[in-house]
Structure 1
């Protein structure tokens, strides 16, 4: 018959093995990587300003969107090169381009959809959709199950007057102002006055809305003409939304994270 210490060691061995197993690192499934043909915009043109809103809480959801690990702009190489050509034009006119969003993973689009279905979460309504009921965001076309951004050749872009002054950080919980309010009252974006803020769910954000006149219209038309000459097409409902006409992945929606 084994002595008590020997028997005790025999009893504790399985527990020690189990403890070692529980503390071992858990293997994670490999995440998809960007396919050949995608680049960081900063590697193609570091002069274009980046303010990647979905990597922050300052967007219509009020939270950092799933899939945005880093606040960087990723695009297909042809889209990045075309944007560089547009940047050269606006620089000569005293402006720089600024992107708010570029490639968008499918998981981020799914995050938008889940948020839109949660009718109780309206923490950002006062700024981004003050005149639209959240229950109508799908019906009115502001949220969709798919996004051209996931193909890698679409970006949300604006103009900033040189020299560039930084936009102050958004403070979660701060008082919100409607995106269609006069520029002096809206969140102090460093872009030129386009008539509404970025991601404004409102008909006033339609690129050629006739109510937008004066300097606001001039800015919209300047952005539109420069980007169209560089090979992009505008989404008529959003003055900031442009897609490369000859995009290399017209039927593929990617889901690698932005990092």
Structure 2
């Protein structure tokens, strides 16, 4: 009986050693996965400044001044990246606007899928209402998906969509946003809203409100004229406006109409590009 017990203990010890040996590669797998390089931008993506350095860039999602209230995932640098055809369309529009004393200013361009995922997580966290007073003062956060303000996919991730406005030249500097400062509704009069060196479009950027609809009948006078100048100029350059957002335009036909990219917004994503 004792010899049998000794033999059984030996078999158990041997079997445990074999299990430990076979488990080693699995334990090492996560480290290998973490070392996987980041995705890179396709060859037809460029930095907007390499096509037209005169266009002003104020990349809001690389800062804390946005509806989330913090830098958004994937925005490693305040850089506008677009497909080359979209960037060249903006250059054509900018050339025309400069002759009229205006400049384009982009707020957002290519947007990685990880940033869209960040928006979704934020929208699902109903306790996070830190930026409500500015960006969605009259919208219940439970309605953001149903009303179309937040979605699980964005045309920005395809690389040919941008958010932008007009600035009267010479451009004045825009003072920085300081987290925790008092917030004012995005549809308040321009003199009361967060200061932006853009022309008055009737609402601020990323205003979750029907007043942001490009042709909202409540927006008249100089505000409507500014929206129509932006819309008409960009349409002549081959860009199409999203009617629900005066700032949102897409170059058509899109080079990547069915692909949602996830490379980070950084110069490294474009390394080696001319």
Q: Name the counterpart of 2:151.
A: 144
Give the gaps of 5 or more residues in structure 1.
Answer: 1-24
- The list of structure 1 runs, each at least 4 consecutive aligned residues, that deviate by more than 3 angstroms after superposition, is none
1:245 Cα deviation after fit: 1.2
Q: Name the counterpart of 1:131.
A: 138
**Partner deviation per Cα, 1:123-170 (whole Å, 9 max, x = no partner):** 000000000000000000000010000000000010000001111100
Q: In 1, distance between residues paired with 2:39 and 2:160?
A: 18
1:194 Cα deviation after fit: 0.1
The answer to whether the aligner puts 1:64 opposite 2:71 as a matched pair is yes
Q: Name the counterpart of 1:120.
A: 127
Aligned length: 235
Q: In 2, distance between residues paired with 1:131 and 1:119?
A: 15
1:29 Cα deviation after fit: 1.9
Aligned with residue 33 of structure 1, among 15, 31, 40: 40
The answer to whether the aligner puts 1:188 opposite 2:195 as a matched pair is yes
Q: In 2, distance between residues paired with 1:211 and 1:81?
A: 33
1:28 Cα deviation after fit: 2.5
**Partner deviation per Cα, 1:88-116 (whole Å, 9 max, x = no partner):** 01111110000000000000000000000
Taking structure 1 as the reference length, the TM-score comes to 0.90
The answer to whether the aligner puts 1:76 opposite 2:120 as a matched pair is no
Q: In 2, distance between residues paired with 1:167 and 1:254?
A: 31
Q: CA RMSD in A?
A: 1.0
Q: Name the counterpart of 1:156.
A: 163
Q: In 2, distance between residues paired with 1:92 and 1:135?
A: 45
Taking structure 2 as the reference length, the TM-score comes to 0.85
